[in-house]
Structure 1
Amino acid sequence: MAQLAVPALAIAFWRNALSTGVLVPVVVARRRAEVAGLARRDLVLIVVAGACLAAHFGFWITSLGMTSVASSTAIVSLQVIWVVGWDLVTGRPVPARVVLGVLVATVGAIVVSGVDLSVSSRALAGDGLALVGSAAVAAYAILGGRLRQRVSTTTYTAGVYGVAALVLLVAALVAGQRLGGYGAEQWAWLALLAATAQLLGHSVFNHLLATVTPTVVSLALLLEIPGAALIAGVWLDQVPGWGAVAGLLLILGGMAAVVLSEPAGRSIPPG
């Protein structure tokens, strides 16, 4: 994302806005009756979830310009610990194997990122933003786990992306960040980011929230870290080191422990 030469909040805004532009026509064509019948409670939760998603992108992408990418990525990977902590606070039974799996997977994410802690005030502020971003995406996953029991993937995803785009638009304008005037290459990267990371990435996780718990989905999000290492290997001729391989194995092992401890799948609302 650093290659884009686009302000942080603008990146976050456009990946959500472009994705919303793709999904809204689908909702209008196929989900109008569902949208009209949404309960007020679900509408409120969609707005809150979208605001949490906006906070995640806004704080995390901003942190990348203040601290090392490795440190920011490692801190954001703590999202799954927030989810498990919420389960414990709210009295949901958490098997010991789930706790162990979460810890193993989180260590794997940190190993892959090659965490590089810095003590400068700017870097510490960036680390703090990344921590807020990790808590925000954990809240997003928890709310999504509730909503996806009643709301279809398409309606939920279009709603939260749309709300996130509006929140990020306001934030970017208040911060005075430029939202346009980019070159063709920058627009191409933004479109690619929306198509891959957003529509093909986060949207899949939104769908999974109907069948598995937020803990499992949060663990699955950790796969973005070794995935980025593999993409760098292909595009930038950077061969992932043994640390990336070991970290990936730890993530997969932790995920396996958690998945095997989860109850049977839940019902899926249609598309």
Structure 2
Amino acid sequence: MSHRESPPVPPYLVLALGILAVSMASIFIRFAQREASSLVIAAYRLTLATLLILPVAIGRYGHEWKRIGRSDLLWMLLSGVFLALHFVTWITSLEYTTVASSVVLVSLSPVFVAIAAPLFLREAISLRTALGILLALVGSGMVGLSDACTGSPLRCELGGSRSLIGNLLALAGAVMVAGYFMIGRRVRGRFSLPVYIAIVYGTAAVVCLLIVAAARLPVLGYTPMTYVWLSLVAIFPQLIGHSSFNWALRYLPTAVVTVTTLGEPIGSTILAYLILGEIPGWIKLLGGGLILSGITIVSREGASA
């Protein structure tokens, strides 16, 4: 890791920009959902991001494409499938539950990676990691139940709750992106970032477009403002946000970057309160705090392993 190099701009400033960019995702998606379906939004996000990064991947890193082996290609294609399913489930969750619940629950991906690591990566779970997983799971239960409870916390109606469906979709999104991260850990280091994400994003875009076609959803005919929201989803959270985190890894320890990205649920919740008027209850705040604490423990342990 070359984080000792002198950066051209302060890395923490870039991290702050990245957090702000990814925190805007749920807000942009909410506005786009006024006219476009969640599946179409996912397809646009990945397709536009792929079209923007592909010229760089081909123009500056064309030599890398010739040395992509069959095994690596298959892994990257599978990673793209996981990424597509992540966006399909998570973006759809925003139709059913609050921004706070959705972004906090989908942030559980490091926990699911830690759970799956002993099986797929043969990495042992430490006692601190187990504690982090437990805290995060308890917190996710609290967040999930808080949306299904009306009035007293002891009076919950789980059956037919739209919020519960949304929370389960967000959890599914966390599982899917965990698969994406685990494959990335296996393959990413052998290729430059533009080449890797061009293949993965491109695959995810194709999967989403096929799903949209199968569902016979319209991809054109929206108002100009909807196209603006769709473009902003692709540019800010997908390209600027994630690229900022990857850039910061060159100058800062992995643990610092990983834990800093946990500011996304906080930023999204604040923006949802200011823009959408969504006020999280005390149960959700407490559960979200447990989730973020658990993820922090898991991320630090994973980074130091």
TM-score, normalization by structure 2: 0.71
Q: Matches of residues 122-137 of structure 1 in structure 2 within 5 Å?
A: 125-137=165-177
> Separation in 2 of the partners of 1:195 and 1:162?
15
Corresponding letter in the other structure for 1:98: T
Residues 262 and 139 (structure 1), Cα distance of their counterparts in 2 relative to 1, 3 Å cut: closer
Corresponding letter in the other structure for 1:55: L
1:155 aligns with 2:233: no
1:80 aligns with 2:110: yes
Residue in 1 that maps onto 2:13:
none
Identity across matched positions, percent: 36
Deviation at 1:98, TM superposition (A): 2.0
Cα RMSD (Å) of the superposition?
3.5
> Separation in 1 of the partners of 2:101 and 2:266?
15
1:228 aligns with 2:268: yes
1:116 aligns with 2:147: yes
Question: Paired residues, what number?
Answer: 261
1:190 aligns with 2:230: yes
Unaligned residue ranges in structure 2 (runs of 5+) = 1-28, 149-157
Residue in 2 that maps onto 1:179:
219
Deviation at 1:120, TM superposition (A): 0.3
Corresponding letter in the other structure for 1:10: V
1:68 aligns with 2:108: no
Q: Matches of residues 23-38 of structure 1 in structure 2 within 5 Å?
A: 23-38=53-68
- Any idea what SS the aligned residue of 1:148 has? helix
> Separation in 2 of the partners of 1:238 and 1:125?
18
Deviation at 1:18, TM superposition (A): 0.8
Q: Please, which of 191, 195, 209 is the counterpart of residue 169 of structure 1?
A: 209
> Relative CO higher for 1 or 2, CA cutoff 8 Å, sep ≥ 6?
2
Residue in 2 that maps onto 1:143:
183
- Any idea what SS the aligned residue of 1:180 has? coil
Deviation at 1:103, TM superposition (A): 3.9
Deviation at 1:180, TM superposition (A): 1.2
Indicate if the aligned counterparts of 2:85 and 2:173 stay in contact, CA closer than 8 A.
yes
Deviation digits for residues 138-174 of structure 1 (CA, Å, limit 9, x no counterpart):
1011001111121211111111111111110010011
Indicate if the aligned counterparts of 1:74 and 1:110 stay in contact, CA closer than 8 A.
no
Residue in 2 that maps onto 1:2:
30
Deviation at 1:205, TM superposition (A): 5.5
Residues 77 and 199 (structure 1), Cα distance of their counterparts in 2 relative to 1, 3 Å cut: same
TM-score, normalization by structure 1: 0.79
Deviation at 1:232, TM superposition (A): 2.9
Moved more, 37-46 or 253-262: 253-262
Residue in 1 that maps onto 2:50:
20
Moved more, 105-114 or 119-128: 105-114
Corresponding letter in the other structure for 1:138: A
Corresponding letter in the other structure for 1:3: F
Unaligned residue ranges in structure 1 (runs of 5+) = 266-271
- Any idea what SS the aligned residue of 2:177 has? helix
> Separation in 2 of the partners of 1:120 and 1:241?
21
Q: Please, which of 46, 49, 54 is the counterpart of residue 79 of structure 2?
A: 49
Residues 245 and 132 (structure 1), Cα distance of their counterparts in 2 relative to 1, 3 Å cut: closer
> Separation in 2 of the partners of 1:49 and 1:36?
20
Moved more, 228-237 or 188-197: 228-237
